[in-house]
Amino acid sequence: MTEPQRVFLVDGARTPFLKARGTPGPFTPVDLAVQCGRPLLARQPFAREALDLVILGCVNVMADEMNPARVAALRLGLGERMVAFTMQINCGSGMQSIDTAYRYIRSGSHDMILAGGAEALSHTPLILRQSAAEWLGRLGAARSPMDKLKLLGDVRPDFFKPVIGLERGLTDPITELGMGQTAEILAHRFGITREMADEYAMQSHHRLAAAQKGDALKGEVVPAFGPDGTVYDHDDGVRPDSDMAGLAKPKPVFEKPYGKVTAGNSSQITDGASWLIVASEKAINLHGLEPIAEITDSEWAGLDPAVMGLGPVLSSTPIVQRHGLSIEDVDLWELNEAFAAQVLACVAAWDHHDFCREVLGFDAAFGRIDRERLNVDGGAISLGHPVGTSGNRIVLHLANAMNKRGAKRGIATECIGGGLGGAMMLEAVQ
Ligand SMILES: CC(=O)SCCNC(=O)CCNC(=O)[C@H](O)C(C)(C)COP(=O)(O)OP(=O)(O)OC[C@H]1O[C@@H](n2cnc3c(N)ncnc32)[C@H](O)[C@@H]1OP(=O)(O)O
């Protein structure tokens, strides 16, 4: 067996995250992947043949771009011999692409992999009801025009009431709970009030607005060019003037009338894509690359789908433990902001004696994450959450934020619908 290889992040980029506004946006998942892949590859010193593999996370794959990883690879000019595959584990898809690259390179089988995530939630398909699909099947099988005409009498008004793919996709198939309802359960369990959730959401918007004004996103966000010539150059869901009075106005969406989760303190429905170049030490030396971070560990965890929002706690705690660290040893955390109540519940769970004893098997509470180290440039509440991309984006941003702040170590972690959690540790390059 070969020694595990060291694995580095070389560079990465993402499109601006574009809010879904009720109609299909200008880009499909593959368009988005191509829009951010082109400038990222153009700024590399190596030839495209140096890439061994392309992996793309995507939850809502469109029927006319099946295996979007391969379609994107071909549109990026990576050549017909490029192997490319798509991964789908809901909100973990974009992180799973990096983790798969990490494990391949670590094993010595590959040297340089393009790992990304792409999602166009504004294009999520509408699904016909079973009754309508069956009727269309009978229509297709009808032999004569008369048989077809007779079938018109079977048309029912509910045929035209589609199942909304996005709503269905954001509902857990086992518990039948919407993702927002799982956040409500956590708010109740950990005593997260509406004010706490709104205050967290306000901070997310203020931090992203500050990041956009400063240089925190420089090089990370590349513009996307629409088919009509429109240039999309910034994340457009941010509300810089968010305040507590404004955030108090939206009514609870998922548990009416007393819930805590609102449009203001939930992640937004958004389109976007991101890529990271993952490389071995050999590839770095061969091409004279300057890595931005080293991947030093990753972990996945399963948990009750009804409290899937605690996925970050269950997936990142084993990493911290394995390396003999404490919560304070992690300089920066990117904890995907599915919902403010869910992020705050994770923070509360780590600081909760009984939870840590019963669920994590500790003698005492694990510790409290300092808010100054958590999602320092905002997150999915202000930025949006294109589900197949977000896990990739938080790793990309963690690497960049660590470099800008001179941090030694960081963890990117996320909850995953269906009851999973994913986490990845990055360290500054020594
Ligand atoms: C594993 C996981 O990651 S699970 C997570 C997966 N993702 C999800 O579940 C998505 C969760 N989010 C959602 O479903 C949607 O965003 C919803 C249903 C909560 C809200 O959807 P929308 O109603 O379209 O939200 P939208 O952003 O348009 O806001 C609606 C209104 O709320 C108010 N509002 C929203 N944000 C703010 C704010 N920061 N300050 C003040 N008011 C606000 C405004 O009145 C806004 O209307 P406007 O845009 O006309 O000003």
ipTM for this model? 0.98
Ligand 1 contacts CB of residue 205 (under 6 A):
yes
Ligand 1 contacts CB of residue 206 (under 6 A):
no
Lowest average pLDDT, out of 118-127, 175-184, 192-201, 311-320, goes to 118-127
Angle at the Cα of 356 from the Cα atoms of 354 and 361, rounded to 5 degrees = 110
pTM: 0.95
Q: Which atom of ligand 1 is the closest one to the Cα of 22?
A: 24
Of 413, 408, 372, 407, nearest to 394 by C-alpha is: 413
Are the beta carbons of 298 and 424 closer than 8 angstroms? yes
Hey, what CATH topology would domain 179-216+296-423 get? Peroxisomal Thiolase; Chain A, domain 1 (3.40.47)
Tokens, residue 235: 């994340």
Ligand 1 contacts CB of residue 166 (under 6 A):
no
Q: Which of 205, 352, 385, 397 is catalytic?
A: 385
Task: Specify the amino acid at residue 321.
Answer: Q
Calculate how far, in angstroms, residue 314's C-alpha sits from the geometric centre of ligand 1: 27
pLDDT exceeds 80 at position 166: no
pLDDT exceeds 90 at position 21: no
**Nearest-10 Cα torsion for 49, 55, 61, 62:** 0
Q: Which of 36, 58, 91, 346 is catalytic?
A: 91
Mean pLDDT for 363-372 is 95
Of 170, 201, 206, nearest to 187 by C-alpha is: 201
pLDDT band at 231; cut points 50, 70, 90 = very high
Are the beta carbons of 126 and 163 closer than 8 angstroms? yes
Nearest residue (CA) to ligand 1, atom 17: 263
Nearest residue (CA) to ligand 1, atom 37: 264
126/322 Cα distance (integer angstroms):
44
* Catalytic status, residue 346: no
Calculate how far, in angstroms, residue 237's C-alpha sits from the geometric centre of ligand 1: 10
Calculate how far, in angstroms, residue 266's C-alpha sits from the geometric centre of ligand 1: 6
Q: What is the pLDDT of residue 18?
A: 97
Calculate how far, in angstroms, residue 377's C-alpha sits from the geometric centre of ligand 1: 19
395-406 burial, b at 16+ Cβ within 10 Å, e below that, comes to bbbbbbbbeeee
Ligand 1 contacts CB of residue 250 (under 6 A):
yes
Are the beta carbons of 206 and 383 closer than 8 angstroms? no
* Catalytic status, residue 385: yes
Calculate how far, in angstroms, residue 382's C-alpha sits from the geometric centre of ligand 1: 10
Q: What is the pLDDT of residue 132?
A: 84
198/382 Cα distance (integer angstroms):
12
Of 165, 123, 115, 100, nearest to 29 by C-alpha is: 123
342/349 Cα distance (integer angstroms):
10
329/410 Cα distance (integer angstroms):
9
Say what angle helices 68-75 and 29-42 make with each other, to 10 degrees: 40
Mean pLDDT for 353-367 is 94
Tokens, residue 385: 């959450």
Give the position of tokens 């910034």.
234
Ligand 1 contacts CB of residue 139 (under 6 A):
no
Ligand 1 contacts CB of residue 252 (under 6 A):
no
Nearest residue (CA) to ligand 1, atom 30: 263
208: helix, strand or coil: helix
Mean pLDDT for 322-341 is 97
Of 224, 231, 208, nearest to 40 by C-alpha is: 224
Q: What is the mean pLDDT of the chain?
A: 95
pLDDT exceeds 70 at position 60: yes
pLDDT exceeds 70 at position 1: no
105: helix, strand or coil: helix
Calculate how far, in angstroms, residue 261's C-alpha sits from the geometric centre of ligand 1: 10
- Phi first, then psi: what are they for 271, rounded to 5°? -110, 145
314/332 Cα distance (integer angstroms):
18
pLDDT exceeds 80 at position 359: yes
Lowest average pLDDT, out of 1-15, 165-179, 204-218, 295-309, goes to 165-179
Ligand 1 contacts CB of residue 386 (under 6 A):
no
Q: What is the pLDDT of residue 124?
A: 80
Ligand 1 contacts CB of residue 416 (under 6 A):
yes
Tokens, residue 288: 């004279």
Of 349, 414, 357, nearest to 387 by C-alpha is: 414
pLDDT exceeds 80 at position 66: yes
Q: What is the pLDDT of residue 160?
A: 74
Ligand 1 contacts CB of residue 388 (under 6 A):
no
Of 153, 178, 202, nearest to 379 by C-alpha is: 202
Spell out the domain ranges in the chain. Answer: 179-216+296-423
Are the beta carbons of 278 and 8 closer than 8 angstroms? yes
For a pLDDT cut of 70, what percent of the chain falls above it?
Answer: 100
